[in-house]
Amino acid sequence: MSSVVFVKTKLVIILGSTEPARRPRLDDVATEVGVSAATVSLVLRGIAGPSPATRQRVLGAAARLGYRPDRAASLLASKRSRLIGVVLDVSNPFHSELIEDVHEAAQRTGYNLVLSAVTRVQDEGRAIETLLDSRCAALVLLGSKLPAARLTVLAQQVPIVVVGRPVSSAGVDVVRTDDNEGLDQGVAYLAGLGHRQITYVDGGHGEVPALRRRAYQKAMRRHHLADHIRIVDGGETEDAGGRAGPEILRLHPMATAVMTFNDRCAMGLIDALLRSGVKIPHSLSIIGYDDSTVARLGHINLTTISQNSPQLMEQAITNLIERLDDIRSEQRSVVVPPHLIVRGTTGPPP
């Protein structure tokens, strides 16, 4: 019994010739325009880099030659999937927003996402193993806490982008927000309102909490408020912010404004202060960090520092695609500028 198998190719019949028509390739477009194949690849995938004039020439040549990307052939040649694995913290509301933005960025490049969550019963290492078992071609690690040495080993297996944390691991790309700029914007805004007693609720242990702690101290000194630097122990969760509330009232009763490590901490702090009878922002102004979806809810209306999630994820996917397509091999660190979003939890000092 015979069978017929259909594959995604074209049978081209040319009268008067027995030679099959050759499908135009990426190199043909590059030769036609006089640029590298890497440049053609960037243009056809809509990635920043080539000039507008070069883009126009490449697109024109591709149209004249009838070039179309052969996704199936590319996959067979590279023996890799078109899956990008993403590790997220299921308890972090900001990560849900990052996931939406990274999904949009990945789809524009023809890749799909596989998600693996860090939970109470699954640590980051196990979440990564799950993605590798699923044959993901590359990984995006949101808020990774793995040691640099472990990241270096992983980068030898698949391309990796760490989002939100500076990493010096060989072969690991980084995309993060400029925390110095973010904390400086917050302090500058509060100082402009007349605040001097600006307390900071710390994020606990780790590289990112240390970075933001130093950024707060630097910003206070820059705005001539070094004598008013006050740091209260906190953490990354609402519970940590809740515990910081009584400490602020006890240790720093003169504080008129508080900046926090992230939005989760800020919301826990606000809840604790409201329960203690503190009026926000009339008695105390609060600024978070992240601009998570919860911060935008009407009854929260939190003033916060936005990390520019769409740009973070666009840069993360761009970095991965460049490595997957062998356009770049050297390590890259992209720092995205944040911006202050003023809402209802800040005002002039009492």
pLDDT for residue 2:
37
Tokens coding 24: 């135009």
- Furthest-apart CA atoms within the chain: distance in Å: 93
pLDDT of residue 233: 96
Angle, CA 308 vertex, CA 302 and CA 313 arms, to 5°: 135
Q: What is the architecture of the domain spanning 179-307?
A: 3-Layer(aba) Sandwich (3.40)
pLDDT in tens, 179-211: 999 999 999 999 999 999 999 999 999 899 999
Which amino acid belongs to residue 4?
V
| Residue 76 pLDDT > 50 | no
Right CATH number for 80-177+309-336 from 3.40.50.2300, 3.30.750.200, 3.50.50.60, 2.40.10.10? 3.40.50.2300
Instruction: Name the 3-class secondary structure at 117.
Output: strand
pLDDT, tens digit, for every residue of 24-43?
887 888 898 998 877 888 88
Structure-derived torsion over alpha carbons of residues 205, 209, 215, 219, reported in degrees to the nearest 10 = -90
Average pLDDT in the chain: 88
What's the confidence (pLDDT) of residue 11?
A: 35
pLDDT of residue 74: 52
Please give the model's pTM, rounded to 2 decimal places.
Answer: 0.75
The confidence band for 12, taking pLDDT boundaries of 50, 70 and 90, is very low
Judge whether 80-177+309-336 and 179-307 match in fold: yes
In our burial notation (b when 16+ CB lie closer than 10 A, e otherwise), range 137-170 reads bbbbbbbbebeeeebbebbeebbbbbbbbebebe
**What pLDDT, on the 0 to 100 scale, is given for residue 327?**
86
pLDDT tens for each residue of 124-165: 999 999 999 989 999 999 999 999 999 999 999 999 999 999
E-only strand ranges, the chain: 83-89, 112-118, 138-142, 160-163, 172-177, 198-201, 230-232, 257-260, 285-290, 303-306, 333-336, 339-341
The contacts of residue 104 (CB under 8 Å, 6+ apart) are 310, 313
Q: What is the mean pLDDT of residues 300-326?
A: 93
CATH of domain 1-79: 1.10.260.40
pLDDT of residue 16: 40
pLDDT tens for each residue of 270-290? 999 999 999 999 999 999 999
| Measured CA distances, 280 to 277, 294, 301, 330 (Å) | 9, 17, 11, 48
pLDDT at residue 40, rounded to an integer: 83
CA nearest to 200, candidates 93, 289, 292, 94: 289
The CA-CA-CA angle for residues 294, 295, 301, to 5°, reads: 125
Rounded percentage of the chain residues whose pLDDT exceeds 90:
63
Residues 210-224 have a mean pLDDT of: 98
**Is the pLDDT reported for residue 51 higher than 50?**
yes
Burial class (CB in 10 A: 0-12, 13-18, 19+), 236: buried
Flag whether pLDDT at 225 surpasses 90.
Answer: yes
Q: What is the share, in percent, of the chain residues with pLDDT greater than 70?
A: 90
- Give residue limits of the domains in the chain: 1-79, 80-177+309-336, 179-307
